[in-house]
Amino acid sequence: MKNTKKELKIFDSHFFTTNPRDFVTWVDRIYYFLGLPPITTSILIFIILYLIGIITSLFFNFLILFIKSPFIYIGIFGISWVFYITHWGSINIHKCYKELRPCFIIDDKIFKSKLIKWFNIFRNTKDNFRVSFYLLIFILILYFISFYHPGLQEKLHLISLRPLIVPKDWFIGSFRLVKFILILFYLIFVCLLLGTASRALCVNLFFLLDLRKLKVIPISNIIRSRLRNLTDYYLKISLSWFVGVMLFGILFYYKLDILSIFILSTLSIIGIFTFFVPQILFRKYLISSYRILCDISLKNFYDKIGIVLKEKNNFNDLEFQNSKLFKLDNLVDMLSISGKPPLWVYDYKDFLILILGQSLAFLGVFLQNVLDKYV
Protein backbone atom coordinates (compact mmCIF):
# COMPACT_ATOMS: atom_id res chain seq x y z
CA MET A 1 0.00 0.00 0.00
CA LYS A 2 1.59 3.28 -1.13
CA ASN A 3 1.08 6.65 0.59
CA THR A 4 1.21 9.98 -1.27
CA LYS A 5 1.10 13.54 0.12
CA LYS A 6 -2.69 13.44 -0.23
CA GLU A 7 -2.77 10.25 1.84
CA LEU A 8 -4.01 8.35 -1.20
CA LYS A 9 -3.71 4.65 -0.55
CA ILE A 10 -3.29 2.18 -3.37
CA PHE A 11 -3.32 -1.59 -3.43
CA ASP A 12 -0.93 -2.31 -6.28
CA SER A 13 -1.23 -5.88 -7.62
CA HIS A 14 2.11 -5.48 -9.38
CA PHE A 15 3.73 -4.91 -6.01
CA PHE A 16 2.10 -7.51 -3.77
CA THR A 17 1.99 -10.35 -6.33
CA THR A 18 4.55 -13.12 -5.84
CA ASN A 19 6.14 -14.88 -8.80
CA PRO A 20 6.29 -18.71 -8.76
CA ARG A 21 9.72 -18.60 -10.43
CA ASP A 22 11.11 -16.79 -7.39
CA PHE A 23 10.15 -19.72 -5.14
CA VAL A 24 11.18 -22.79 -7.11
CA THR A 25 11.18 -26.24 -5.49
CA TRP A 26 13.36 -29.07 -6.76
CA VAL A 27 10.28 -30.44 -8.53
CA ASP A 28 9.66 -27.12 -10.30
CA ARG A 29 13.25 -27.03 -11.50
CA ILE A 30 12.66 -30.20 -13.54
CA TYR A 31 9.57 -28.73 -15.22
CA TYR A 32 11.20 -25.37 -15.92
CA PHE A 33 14.38 -27.04 -17.20
CA LEU A 34 12.51 -29.15 -19.74
CA GLY A 35 10.27 -26.24 -20.74
CA LEU A 36 7.43 -28.54 -21.80
CA PRO A 37 3.75 -28.35 -20.83
CA PRO A 38 3.41 -29.81 -17.30
CA ILE A 39 1.30 -32.79 -18.40
CA THR A 40 3.83 -33.60 -21.14
CA THR A 41 6.68 -33.45 -18.63
CA SER A 42 4.82 -35.83 -16.30
CA ILE A 43 4.22 -38.30 -19.13
CA LEU A 44 7.91 -38.05 -20.06
CA ILE A 45 8.86 -38.82 -16.45
CA PHE A 46 6.65 -41.92 -16.57
CA ILE A 47 8.28 -43.10 -19.82
CA ILE A 48 11.84 -42.52 -18.59
CA LEU A 49 11.27 -44.35 -15.29
CA TYR A 50 9.61 -47.25 -17.11
CA LEU A 51 12.41 -47.53 -19.68
CA ILE A 52 15.01 -47.65 -16.89
CA GLY A 53 13.17 -50.62 -15.44
CA ILE A 54 12.82 -52.28 -18.84
CA ILE A 55 16.54 -51.95 -19.60
CA THR A 56 17.56 -53.21 -16.16
CA SER A 57 15.21 -56.21 -16.25
CA LEU A 58 16.25 -57.05 -19.81
CA PHE A 59 19.94 -56.97 -18.91
CA PHE A 60 19.46 -59.22 -15.86
CA ASN A 61 16.92 -61.53 -17.51
CA PHE A 62 13.71 -60.83 -15.58
CA LEU A 63 11.97 -58.77 -18.29
CA ILE A 64 8.80 -60.89 -18.31
CA LEU A 65 8.45 -60.53 -14.54
CA PHE A 66 8.89 -56.76 -14.83
CA ILE A 67 6.31 -56.38 -17.61
CA LYS A 68 3.75 -58.57 -15.83
CA SER A 69 4.08 -56.79 -12.46
CA PRO A 70 1.13 -54.39 -12.00
CA PHE A 71 2.76 -52.64 -9.04
CA ILE A 72 5.41 -51.25 -11.40
CA TYR A 73 2.80 -49.41 -13.47
CA ILE A 74 0.92 -48.21 -10.40
CA GLY A 75 4.14 -47.05 -8.75
CA ILE A 76 5.46 -45.17 -11.77
CA PHE A 77 2.05 -43.63 -12.39
CA GLY A 78 1.96 -42.51 -8.75
CA ILE A 79 5.40 -40.92 -9.06
CA SER A 80 4.49 -38.99 -12.23
CA TRP A 81 1.11 -38.02 -10.72
CA VAL A 82 2.65 -36.58 -7.55
CA PHE A 83 5.29 -34.78 -9.66
CA TYR A 84 2.46 -33.07 -11.55
CA ILE A 85 0.33 -32.22 -8.49
CA THR A 86 3.34 -30.87 -6.55
CA HIS A 87 4.26 -28.58 -9.44
CA TRP A 88 0.63 -27.53 -9.95
CA GLY A 89 0.28 -26.68 -6.26
CA SER A 90 3.54 -24.74 -6.23
CA ILE A 91 2.39 -22.52 -9.10
CA ASN A 92 -1.28 -21.97 -8.27
CA ILE A 93 -0.91 -21.00 -4.63
CA HIS A 94 0.51 -17.65 -5.80
CA LYS A 95 -2.57 -16.94 -7.95
CA CYS A 96 -4.95 -17.74 -5.10
CA TYR A 97 -3.32 -15.40 -2.59
CA LYS A 98 -3.03 -12.65 -5.18
CA GLU A 99 -6.82 -12.76 -5.60
CA LEU A 100 -7.40 -12.82 -1.85
CA ARG A 101 -5.11 -9.90 -1.03
CA PRO A 102 -7.69 -7.00 -1.45
CA CYS A 103 -9.80 -8.60 1.29
CA PHE A 104 -7.28 -7.49 3.92
CA ILE A 105 -6.69 -4.01 5.33
CA ILE A 106 -2.94 -4.33 5.55
CA ASP A 107 0.08 -2.66 4.00
CA ASP A 108 1.33 -4.25 0.77
CA LYS A 109 4.82 -4.65 2.19
CA ILE A 110 3.61 -6.47 5.29
CA PHE A 111 1.36 -8.77 3.27
CA LYS A 112 4.07 -9.60 0.76
CA SER A 113 6.69 -10.11 3.46
CA LYS A 114 4.47 -12.76 5.03
CA LEU A 115 4.10 -14.55 1.71
CA ILE A 116 7.83 -14.36 0.97
CA LYS A 117 8.69 -15.72 4.41
CA TRP A 118 6.48 -18.79 4.07
CA PHE A 119 7.04 -19.46 0.36
CA ASN A 120 10.78 -19.56 1.09
CA ILE A 121 10.10 -22.16 3.77
CA PHE A 122 7.99 -24.19 1.34
CA ARG A 123 10.72 -24.35 -1.28
CA ASN A 124 13.63 -25.13 1.09
CA THR A 125 15.33 -28.00 -0.74
CA LYS A 126 17.58 -28.97 2.14
CA ASP A 127 14.66 -29.45 4.54
CA ASN A 128 12.60 -31.26 1.88
CA PHE A 129 15.45 -33.69 1.25
CA ARG A 130 16.05 -34.17 4.96
CA VAL A 131 12.45 -35.26 5.56
CA SER A 132 12.58 -37.46 2.46
CA PHE A 133 15.82 -39.11 3.64
CA TYR A 134 14.34 -40.10 7.01
CA LEU A 135 11.30 -41.47 5.23
CA LEU A 136 13.47 -43.45 2.80
CA ILE A 137 15.47 -45.02 5.62
CA PHE A 138 12.25 -46.09 7.35
CA ILE A 139 10.70 -47.65 4.24
CA LEU A 140 14.02 -49.16 3.18
CA ILE A 141 14.29 -51.00 6.50
CA LEU A 142 10.79 -52.40 6.01
CA TYR A 143 11.55 -53.60 2.48
CA PHE A 144 14.91 -55.04 3.56
CA ILE A 145 13.08 -57.12 6.17
CA SER A 146 10.58 -58.18 3.53
CA PHE A 147 13.31 -59.27 1.07
CA TYR A 148 15.89 -60.83 3.36
CA HIS A 149 14.32 -61.51 6.76
CA PRO A 150 10.82 -62.91 6.26
CA GLY A 151 11.23 -64.80 9.55
CA LEU A 152 11.64 -61.50 11.42
CA GLN A 153 8.63 -60.17 9.55
CA GLU A 154 6.51 -63.06 10.81
CA LYS A 155 7.94 -62.76 14.32
CA LEU A 156 6.96 -59.09 14.45
CA HIS A 157 3.53 -59.91 12.93
CA LEU A 158 4.10 -57.43 10.11
CA ILE A 159 1.77 -59.14 7.64
CA SER A 160 1.39 -55.99 5.56
CA LEU A 161 4.93 -55.85 4.14
CA ARG A 162 4.35 -58.06 1.08
CA PRO A 163 1.47 -56.58 -0.91
CA LEU A 164 -0.62 -59.00 -2.98
CA ILE A 165 0.04 -56.81 -5.99
CA VAL A 166 3.81 -57.52 -5.80
CA PRO A 167 4.53 -60.99 -7.34
CA LYS A 168 6.40 -63.34 -4.99
CA ASP A 169 9.11 -63.84 -7.64
CA TRP A 170 10.41 -60.39 -6.76
CA PHE A 171 11.40 -61.66 -3.31
CA ILE A 172 12.93 -64.99 -4.37
CA GLY A 173 14.98 -66.52 -7.18
CA SER A 174 17.95 -65.17 -9.08
CA PHE A 175 19.05 -61.53 -9.18
CA ARG A 176 17.20 -60.77 -5.98
CA LEU A 177 19.75 -58.05 -5.13
CA VAL A 178 19.22 -56.39 -8.53
CA LYS A 179 15.45 -56.50 -8.05
CA PHE A 180 15.90 -54.95 -4.61
CA ILE A 181 18.11 -52.18 -6.04
CA LEU A 182 15.58 -51.47 -8.82
CA ILE A 183 12.77 -51.16 -6.27
CA LEU A 184 15.08 -48.98 -4.17
CA PHE A 185 15.55 -46.74 -7.20
CA TYR A 186 11.80 -46.20 -7.44
CA LEU A 187 11.54 -45.86 -3.67
CA ILE A 188 13.91 -42.90 -3.77
CA PHE A 189 11.48 -41.00 -6.00
CA VAL A 190 8.50 -42.06 -3.90
CA CYS A 191 10.15 -40.84 -0.71
CA LEU A 192 11.43 -37.60 -2.25
CA LEU A 193 7.94 -36.72 -3.42
CA LEU A 194 6.15 -37.97 -0.33
CA GLY A 195 8.58 -36.16 1.95
CA THR A 196 8.35 -32.91 -0.03
CA ALA A 197 4.55 -33.01 -0.28
CA SER A 198 3.94 -33.98 3.34
CA ARG A 199 6.33 -31.30 4.61
CA ALA A 200 4.64 -28.69 2.38
CA LEU A 201 1.20 -29.56 3.76
CA CYS A 202 2.45 -29.44 7.35
CA VAL A 203 4.17 -26.09 6.78
CA ASN A 204 0.99 -24.82 5.13
CA LEU A 205 -0.92 -25.33 8.38
CA PHE A 206 1.45 -22.96 10.20
CA PHE A 207 1.27 -20.56 7.27
CA LEU A 208 -2.51 -20.38 7.60
CA LEU A 209 -2.28 -19.88 11.35
CA ASP A 210 0.06 -16.95 10.73
CA LEU A 211 -2.61 -15.32 8.55
CA ARG A 212 -5.44 -15.77 11.03
CA LYS A 213 -5.10 -12.28 12.60
CA LEU A 214 -5.21 -10.28 9.37
CA LYS A 215 -7.90 -7.59 9.41
CA VAL A 216 -10.60 -8.10 6.78
CA ILE A 217 -12.92 -5.71 4.97
CA PRO A 218 -16.55 -5.50 6.20
CA ILE A 219 -18.08 -7.04 3.06
CA SER A 220 -18.34 -10.71 3.88
CA ASN A 221 -19.97 -11.89 0.65
CA ILE A 222 -17.09 -10.49 -1.37
CA ILE A 223 -14.62 -12.21 0.95
CA ARG A 224 -16.49 -15.49 0.54
CA SER A 225 -16.45 -15.10 -3.24
CA ARG A 226 -12.72 -14.39 -3.24
CA LEU A 227 -12.07 -17.31 -0.90
CA ARG A 228 -13.74 -19.77 -3.27
CA ASN A 229 -10.72 -20.22 -5.54
CA LEU A 230 -8.42 -20.72 -2.56
CA THR A 231 -10.92 -23.16 -1.06
CA ASP A 232 -11.04 -25.11 -4.33
CA TYR A 233 -7.25 -25.12 -4.34
CA TYR A 234 -7.04 -26.77 -0.92
CA LEU A 235 -9.89 -29.13 -1.82
CA LYS A 236 -8.00 -30.34 -4.91
CA ILE A 237 -4.79 -30.68 -2.92
CA SER A 238 -6.59 -32.72 -0.25
CA LEU A 239 -8.23 -35.05 -2.77
CA SER A 240 -4.93 -35.49 -4.64
CA TRP A 241 -3.24 -36.29 -1.35
CA PHE A 242 -5.79 -39.01 -0.60
CA VAL A 243 -5.26 -40.51 -4.07
CA GLY A 244 -1.53 -40.57 -3.33
CA VAL A 245 -2.16 -42.26 0.03
CA MET A 246 -4.29 -44.87 -1.73
CA LEU A 247 -1.50 -45.64 -4.21
CA PHE A 248 0.98 -45.77 -1.34
CA GLY A 249 -1.25 -48.27 0.46
CA ILE A 250 -1.57 -50.46 -2.62
CA LEU A 251 2.19 -50.57 -3.13
CA PHE A 252 3.31 -51.11 0.45
CA TYR A 253 0.62 -52.86 2.44
CA TYR A 254 -1.15 -56.17 2.08
CA LYS A 255 -3.42 -56.25 5.11
CA LEU A 256 -4.39 -53.86 7.84
CA ASP A 257 -2.14 -54.44 10.82
CA ILE A 258 -0.70 -52.08 13.43
CA LEU A 259 2.01 -50.82 11.06
CA SER A 260 -0.23 -50.15 8.05
CA ILE A 261 -3.03 -48.63 10.13
CA PHE A 262 -0.57 -46.28 11.87
CA ILE A 263 1.14 -45.08 8.68
CA LEU A 264 -2.01 -44.76 6.55
CA SER A 265 -3.84 -42.99 9.40
CA THR A 266 -0.94 -40.57 9.89
CA LEU A 267 -0.88 -39.73 6.18
CA SER A 268 -4.68 -39.39 6.12
CA ILE A 269 -4.64 -36.96 9.04
CA ILE A 270 -2.39 -34.64 7.03
CA GLY A 271 -5.02 -34.60 4.27
CA ILE A 272 -7.85 -34.04 6.75
CA PHE A 273 -6.02 -31.09 8.32
CA THR A 274 -5.35 -29.65 4.86
CA PHE A 275 -9.11 -29.75 4.28
CA PHE A 276 -10.35 -28.42 7.63
CA VAL A 277 -7.77 -25.85 8.77
CA PRO A 278 -8.43 -23.49 5.82
CA GLN A 279 -12.16 -23.84 6.46
CA ILE A 280 -11.78 -22.86 10.11
CA LEU A 281 -9.59 -19.88 9.20
CA PHE A 282 -11.91 -18.72 6.42
CA ARG A 283 -14.93 -19.01 8.72
CA LYS A 284 -13.12 -16.71 11.15
CA TYR A 285 -12.63 -14.17 8.34
CA LEU A 286 -16.33 -14.25 7.44
CA ILE A 287 -17.48 -13.90 11.05
CA SER A 288 -15.05 -11.04 11.66
CA SER A 289 -16.11 -9.26 8.47
CA TYR A 290 -19.80 -9.47 9.30
CA ARG A 291 -19.21 -8.37 12.89
CA ILE A 292 -17.30 -5.29 11.71
CA LEU A 293 -20.19 -4.29 9.44
CA CYS A 294 -22.65 -4.75 12.30
CA ASP A 295 -20.52 -2.56 14.58
CA ILE A 296 -20.32 0.15 11.92
CA SER A 297 -24.09 0.01 11.44
CA LEU A 298 -24.69 0.29 15.19
CA LYS A 299 -22.40 3.32 15.52
CA ASN A 300 -24.04 4.94 12.51
CA PHE A 301 -27.49 4.43 14.03
CA TYR A 302 -26.55 6.14 17.29
CA ASP A 303 -24.82 8.97 15.42
CA LYS A 304 -28.05 9.65 13.53
CA ILE A 305 -30.08 10.02 16.71
CA GLY A 306 -27.45 12.15 18.40
CA ILE A 307 -25.98 9.65 20.81
CA VAL A 308 -22.24 9.07 21.06
CA LEU A 309 -21.49 5.38 21.40
CA LYS A 310 -18.15 4.87 23.11
CA GLU A 311 -16.95 1.29 23.03
CA LYS A 312 -14.11 -0.72 21.63
CA ASN A 313 -15.15 -1.69 18.12
CA ASN A 314 -13.74 -4.20 15.69
CA PHE A 315 -13.15 -1.41 13.19
CA ASN A 316 -11.20 0.97 15.44
CA ASP A 317 -7.85 0.07 13.91
CA LEU A 318 -9.18 -0.19 10.34
CA GLU A 319 -9.21 3.56 9.74
CA PHE A 320 -12.95 3.62 9.16
CA GLN A 321 -13.87 6.14 11.86
CA ASN A 322 -13.82 9.20 9.63
CA SER A 323 -14.68 7.38 6.46
CA LYS A 324 -17.54 8.15 4.09
CA LEU A 325 -18.64 4.67 5.02
CA PHE A 326 -20.58 6.23 7.91
CA LYS A 327 -22.90 8.12 5.58
CA LEU A 328 -26.27 6.39 5.64
CA ASP A 329 -26.58 5.96 1.87
CA ASN A 330 -23.20 4.28 1.66
CA LEU A 331 -24.04 2.08 4.59
CA VAL A 332 -27.34 0.98 3.02
CA ASP A 333 -25.47 0.11 -0.16
CA MET A 334 -22.98 -1.96 1.77
CA LEU A 335 -25.69 -3.78 3.68
CA SER A 336 -27.49 -4.56 0.44
CA ILE A 337 -24.44 -6.27 -1.09
CA SER A 338 -23.25 -7.88 2.08
CA GLY A 339 -25.94 -9.09 4.44
CA LYS A 340 -25.16 -12.16 6.46
CA PRO A 341 -23.41 -14.74 4.27
CA PRO A 342 -23.14 -18.47 4.86
CA LEU A 343 -20.32 -18.72 7.38
CA TRP A 344 -18.90 -21.93 5.89
CA VAL A 345 -16.99 -21.61 2.64
CA TYR A 346 -17.32 -25.31 1.91
CA ASP A 347 -20.71 -26.76 0.99
CA TYR A 348 -22.06 -30.28 1.36
CA LYS A 349 -20.50 -31.40 -1.95
CA ASP A 350 -17.07 -30.48 -0.63
CA PHE A 351 -17.63 -32.59 2.47
CA LEU A 352 -18.72 -35.51 0.28
CA ILE A 353 -15.41 -35.18 -1.56
CA LEU A 354 -13.61 -35.31 1.79
CA ILE A 355 -15.44 -38.53 2.70
CA LEU A 356 -14.62 -39.97 -0.72
CA GLY A 357 -10.96 -39.03 -0.34
CA GLN A 358 -10.76 -40.49 3.15
CA SER A 359 -12.25 -43.74 1.83
CA LEU A 360 -9.69 -43.83 -0.98
CA ALA A 361 -6.86 -43.72 1.54
CA PHE A 362 -7.70 -47.22 2.80
CA LEU A 363 -9.27 -48.55 -0.41
CA GLY A 364 -6.05 -50.11 -1.73
CA VAL A 365 -5.47 -52.24 1.35
CA PHE A 366 -9.16 -53.19 1.50
CA LEU A 367 -9.19 -54.38 -2.12
CA GLN A 368 -6.11 -56.52 -1.55
CA ASN A 369 -7.82 -58.15 1.41
CA VAL A 370 -10.84 -58.95 -0.77
CA LEU A 371 -8.76 -60.22 -3.71
CA ASP A 372 -6.74 -62.40 -1.37
CA LYS A 373 -9.81 -64.58 -0.82
CA TYR A 374 -10.00 -65.40 -4.51
CA VAL A 375 -6.30 -65.83 -5.31
pLDDT of residue 7: 45
Query: Residue ranges of the domains in the chain?
Result: 17-372
pLDDT of residue 314: 57
Look at residues 169, 171, 165 and name the one whose alpha carbon lies nearest to residue 145. Answer: 171
Give every CB contact of residue 85 below 8 A, 6+ residues apart in sequence.
Answer: 197, 237, 240, 244
Average of per-residue pLDDT values in the chain: 79
**pLDDT at residue 302 is higher than 60:** yes
Measured CA to CA, the distance from residue 243 to residue 311 in angstroms comes to 51
pLDDT of residue 199: 94
Mean per-residue pLDDT for 26-35?
Answer: 94
SS3 content of the chain, % helix, strand, coil (to 5): 75, 0, 20
pLDDT of residue 327: 54
324: amino acid identity, one letter: K
Q: What is the CA radius of gyration of the chain?
A: 26
pLDDT in tens, 49-82: 999 999 999 999 889 999 988 889 988 999 999 9
Lowest mean pLDDT among 2-11, 134-143, 245-254, 290-299: 2-11
pLDDT of residue 303: 72
pLDDT-derived band at 297 (thresholds 50, 70, 90) equals confident
Measured CA to CA, the distance from residue 346 to residue 279 in angstroms comes to 7
Cβ neighbours of 320 (radius 10 Å): 20
pLDDT in tens, 336-359: 545 566 666 666 677 777 777 667
**pLDDT at residue 322 is higher than 60:** no
Selected residue with higher pLDDT from 132 and 371: 132
pLDDT-derived band at 8 (thresholds 50, 70, 90) equals very low
pLDDT-derived band at 85 (thresholds 50, 70, 90) equals very high
Mean per-residue pLDDT for 243-256?
Answer: 76
